[in-house]
Structure 1
Amino acid sequence: MSEVRNAMASYIKQVHKTKRPVIITQHGKGVAVLLSASEFEAMQKKMELLSDVQSSLNQLAKGEGILHQEAKDKLLKRVPQCR
């Protein structure tokens, strides 16, 4: 951890340059991850999308889904400029 404190600016530059996270370890075990704000936001969006997909799959498994054409019709009614 003391190495991280002393080299934080260097790690931030590395994350920004490589677009890859840096794993921070303590006693040989990963305890934290340093990544760029833009990468974090992108990851959050992906997780939200995957959560939505999982919710949709769960609804379909329960028979709560609707046909593609019905979904398309509902969407087009809500967003008329897409016609």
Structure 2
Amino acid sequence: MRTELVTNLKRQATNILQRLHEDKEPVLITEHGKPSAYLVDVSDYESMQQRMAILEGIAKGQRDISEGRIKTSDEAKNMFSKWLI
């Protein structure tokens, strides 16, 4: 991962973005020597969002199971058959 100062981002935004799109390597932006933000390619960001949504769905399912919120296969088929007329 590359690191850039916020002042470099202000001065060289076009070059930094061009390199980001070419090598797909995230860029850590620092202010006063401390991490401030990450620049990531749009397709990489969207992919991370999709993966996060899947993981959140799995975690929710695991919580439902552990808390007893489950249905049998027949109950689920009956419930869905109402929607799939």
Q: TM-score range by the shorter chain?
A: 0.7 to 0.9
Higher relative contact order (CA 8 A, sep 6+): 2
After TM superposition, the structure 1 = structure 2 runs for residues 4-83 of structure 1, keeping only pairs within 5 Å, are 4-66=9-71, 70=73, 74=77
Encode CA deviations 1:8-48: one digit per residue, 9 max, x unaligned.
11111121111121010011111011111111111110111
- Identity fraction in percent: 25
Structure 1, unpaired ranges of 5+: none
* Structure richer in strand, relative to its length: 2
* Structure richer in helix, relative to its length: 1
Q: Which aligned runs of 4 or more in structure 1 are off by greater than 6 angstroms?
A: none
Q: TM-score, normalised by structure 2?
A: 0.74
CA apart distance, 1:51: 0.7
SS of residue matched to 1:54: helix
Q: TM-score, normalised by structure 1?
A: 0.75
Q: What's the C-alpha RMSD, in Å, of the aligned pairs?
A: 2.1
